[in-house]
Structure 1
Amino acid sequence: MEQYQRLKVLGRGSYGSAVLVREGGSGRQLRVIKEIDTSRLPRGAQKEVQTEVGVLKSLSHPNIVAYCDAFFEGTKLCIVMEYADGGDLAAAVKDRASEGRRFMEGEVMSMFAQCCLALKHVHSKHILHRDLKAQNIFLTATKVVKLGDFGVARVLDHTAAEAVTMIGTPIYLAPEVCNSKPYGTKADVWSLGVVLYELCALKPPFQASNIASLCMKIMRTEPDPLPEELYTEEARDLVAWMLRKSADGRPTVDQLLEQPAVGRAAQHLPGEAGAAAGARHPGPPEGPGEPRRPCRPPQQHHRAPPGGACADLAAEFHRNRELAAMLKARAGGAGAGRPPGLPRSHSADGLAPTPAGPPPTQGEASCAAAQKAAEEQRHLQALQDAAAQARRDRRQVQQRMRELERAEAQRAPGEGPWSAEPPEGQGPPGRPCGLDGAAGRRAARGAELDAEEARLRALQ
């Protein structure tokens, strides 16, 4: 530490502190030293510290806090990093909220584009940040954004790898993380979407009194819409796209950078960030007076459909219902309800009548009878499969309902419902959309399919 002059403590944590220092010698530049008392760290946290040093060494980008040095002083590990003299994004959002003064869309897109460029570089190294939040995004006096704090980052073995541990700040957790499912780079995209929402709304999209309620809100509810008078449809669509409940429905960072608003912001970034963005993402040529059209993400919905098990069960129920209806119509001779992949019947298939021909021979009649019997057997098998699927679905719905009732019974006394005002068209507070109705309809459909199966067996 002799080569550094301590100036002031910037912050303290459970196991150390961040200190502003000035380099000795001719440089005299300001740096931040993260001091971590390794003797007090549990074994897992010691690995996280080593991970942070390794990750910082491997990352070099204008929008990522630069690693300068690391050394031990007794039991303290000292990580020397670049100093961002503009504070962090959380403080900037808090200041604007206290002043009642929102960020203009141009400011938001400039900061967001820099975050995208930083995250693109991180993901290109097969690294998940896993704790992306406003407190870990730093600013310089010249408005350059710096992504930092890689203490819980995870280096993936390959691009398709997924992590399974729940790590991160609760309000930034993606639905798949809340649900203890494997997650990948799309979880970082969700967290960045929460940051983008915060920049626009000056508040988090999801808030609750405890972690359990917060996770339920993240998985089941939608955030309040952003004000239309302040932010364009393109900006609002970006937020909605990044905050889709399904990870598959979210964009990659590359797709975000391809959006016109983000691309335009990336071409006008300050300092080295602008030069790097211009080299990586040259803007398309524009004709004189050519209007810019806002880009909507593919398959954009004004209200996201119910997610998770509710959507899967509902979709499976509708597929079974349609299949059963077609089979029932076909068995009754209607013909119009032929399921895909099943051959047409030789009668009542909706075709124009054919001219009468010579009567069939005994061999032809036997062949036709065999074909009809085989076709009816296929119909019966398809109906049996649909009935079995309906019974399985009914058991899954009943099991899911029991799990939800147990979870609701275990909530802390006095805790409010998960969603005080459910979105239009969805179920009662605290339950996924339409599960009760779906369970009843599935039970009725299963009974109907069983009866239809018995009727066809009797016909045989």
Structure 2
Amino acid sequence: MPSYHGINLCCGDPQETFACLEMLGRGADGAIWKAQDKRSGEVVAFKVICGKRVDEAIDAVQKEIDIWQGCQHANIVKYHGTYLSDPELWISMEFCRGRSVADVLADLAQPLAEPQIAVISLGILQALSYLHASMTIHRDVKCSNILLTDKGQVKLADFGVAVQLPNAHSLQTSFVGTGCWMAPEVVLEKPYDMSVDIWSLGISCIEMAEVDPPVITQSPHQMVYSIPENGPPGLADPRQWSHRFQQFVKACLAADPDHRAAAGTLLKTAFIEKAGDWTTLIPLVQQCMEKRRQDAHKQKVIRKNSPQRSPRGSRSGAIPGRSAGSNTGTCTESTDRGRWCGLPVFFDACGSGCDSPRFC
């Protein structure tokens, strides 16, 4: 098997094997594409890292793949393999037709119902319990990295900033993650462990309940320094939600990581134990898929009737809805949500200018 900088490569040219279907979004280090295997008809997702970004990001990509390919769990997006199509690196993964929970929130422009939040939280907790058992910290849990299949399955995606600790006593200090979802100890660059993922899940629960994370108008430091006076972030109107959900969010958002519940403990809470199964999410996914079809049809009509059509290969390939939503990977959110709310601090946005694989 050929390799590139220690990454095992799949044989063949992906441009000959796969047909591009649509661009799903732009990640921190490349564009995300939906593609179809010409031989089998299987639909997959690709993260395409272009040109100079390959050399710049290769160490981070190697670490991401090393962790990701070792993850075999129903609630984690499957890694298929990596191709080299000089000068691009193509990372193939499972495609989730329901796209991300961030996309769902943007499509519906309204919060999720509590039973839906419970099922999604259950799936992510199962993924985190699996990761934490192997001393792996995801470090970027948020709704744009929580994907849904057309069967209602919940999948955790994007291991671009994940890290595996050497042992149970090891801690991290890197300032890594996405602003609004970062735990206080990460923001303050104090030593931290797997519990930072639990904080991010708590913020994601509020995001699902209120469409936006609770501190989008603040920088991470402003949020942290307000905790002694105002307490940790919480639901804006707790009366709208069950006591079970309120207690679950509170357990996730304990300011002191030593008092923050572990994934295994949260799986035993009343909120999670009473959660339904994946089928609870099927109507939600179907509703969003239908809305996307309608939106796509409207856009097609508009383009057809427009006297000025965008040239092929223009850089306007974003999905309808907020730019944060992506099928895989972490995508830059619209600037009006605040500079801390979309892009992982660890990376700069891809500046290669290469949105479209050459095979399109």
Structure 2 length normalisation: TM-score?
A: 0.69
Letter in 2 for 1:81: M
Instruction: Find the aligned partners of 2:28 and 2:211 in 1 and give their Cα distance.
Output: 28
Determine helix, strand or coil for the equivalent of 2:69. Answer: helix
Q: Describe the superposition over 1:375-408 as per-residue Cα deviations: whole angstroms up to 9, x where unpaired.
A: xxxxxxxxxxxxxxxxxxxxxxxxxxxxxxxxxx
Task: Provide the residue aligned with 2:129 in structure 1.
Answer: 120
Task: Provide the residue aligned with 2:230 in structure 1.
Answer: 221
Q: Which has the higher helix share?
A: 1
Instruction: Find the aligned partners of 2:185 and 2:28 in 1 and give their Cα distance.
Output: 28
Deviates more, 1:120-129 or 1:162-171: 120-129
Instruction: Find the aligned partners of 1:112 and 1:209 in 2 and give their Cα distance.
Output: 25
1:14 to 1:105, Cα distance in 2 relative to 1, 3 A:
closer
Task: Provide the residue aligned with 1:33 in structure 2.
Answer: 46
Task: Please state if 1:263 is matched with 2:273.
Answer: yes
Task: Provide the residue aligned with 1:17 in structure 2.
Answer: 31
Determine helix, strand or coil for the equivalent of 2:46. Answer: strand
1:166 to 1:177, Cα distance in 2 relative to 1, 3 A:
same
Task: Please state if 1:78 is matched with 2:90.
Answer: yes
Q: 1:234 aligns with which of 214, 237, 244?
A: 244
Q: Describe the superposition over 1:409-438 as per-residue Cα deviations: whole angstroms up to 9, x where unpaired.
A: xxxxxxxxxxxxxxxxxxxxxxxxxxxxxx
Instruction: Find the aligned partners of 1:130 and 1:15 in 2 and give their Cα distance.
Output: 16
Q: 1:174 aligns with which of 169, 183, 197?
A: 183
- How far residue 264 of structure 1 moved from its aligned partner, in angstroms, is 2.8
Q: Describe the superposition over 1:55-90 as per-residue Cα deviations: whole angstroms up to 9, x where unpaired.
A: 221001111110111121113211100001112111
Greater relative contact order (Cα 8 A, min sep 6): structure 1 or 2?
A: 2
Q: Describe the superposition over 1:90-111 as per-residue Cα deviations: whole angstroms up to 9, x where unpaired.
A: 1222344x3xx43222111011
Percent identity for Structure 1 against Structure 2:
28
Q: 2:142 aligns with which of 133, 147, 155?
A: 133
Letter in 2 for 1:16: G
Q: 1:55 aligns with which of 45, 63, 67?
A: 67
Task: Provide the residue aligned with 1:5 in structure 2.
Answer: 19
Task: Provide the residue aligned with 1:419 in structure 2.
Answer: none
1:378-397 superposed matches below 5 A? none
Letter in 2 for 1:33: F
Determine helix, strand or coil for the equivalent of 1:58. Answer: coil
- How far residue 196 of structure 1 moved from its aligned partner, in angstroms, is 1.1
Q: Describe the superposition over 1:104-135 as per-residue Cα deviations: whole angstroms up to 9, x where unpaired.
A: 22111011101101111111222110111111
1:220 to 1:174, Cα distance in 2 relative to 1, 3 A:
farther
Unaligned runs of 5+ in 1: 272-460
Q: Which has the higher strand share?
A: 2
Asked if the contact 1:174/1:218 (under 8 Å) is kept, the reply is no
Task: Please state if 1:147 is matched with 2:156.
Answer: yes
Deviates more, 1:4-13 or 1:219-228: 219-228
Task: Please state if 1:183 is matched with 2:192.
Answer: yes
Aligned residues: 265
Task: Provide the residue aligned with 1:340 in structure 2.
Answer: none
Instruction: Find the aligned partners of 1:122 and 1:11 in 2 and give their Cα distance.
Output: 26
Asked if the contact 1:8/1:19 (under 8 Å) is kept, the reply is yes
1:217 to 1:228, Cα distance in 2 relative to 1, 3 A:
closer
Instruction: Find the aligned partners of 2:128 and 2:134 in 1 and give their Cα distance.
Output: 10
Instruction: Find the aligned partners of 2:216 and 2:226 in 1 and give their Cα distance.
Output: 8
**Rg: which structure is higher?**
1
Task: Provide the residue aligned with 1:251 in structure 2.
Answer: 261
Determine helix, strand or coil for the equivalent of 1:213. Answer: helix
1:73 to 1:219, Cα distance in 2 relative to 1, 3 A:
farther
Q: Describe the superposition over 1:335-373 as per-residue Cα deviations: whole angstroms up to 9, x where unpaired.
A: xxxxxxxxxxxxxxxxxxxxxxxxxxxxxxxxxxxxxxx
Asked if the contact 1:63/1:117 (under 8 Å) is kept, the reply is yes
Determine helix, strand or coil for the equivalent of 1:31. Answer: strand
Letter in 2 for 1:92: V
Structure 1 length normalisation: TM-score?
A: 0.54
Letter in 2 for 1:31: V
1:219 to 1:208, Cα distance in 2 relative to 1, 3 A:
farther
Determine helix, strand or coil for the equivalent of 2:201. Answer: helix
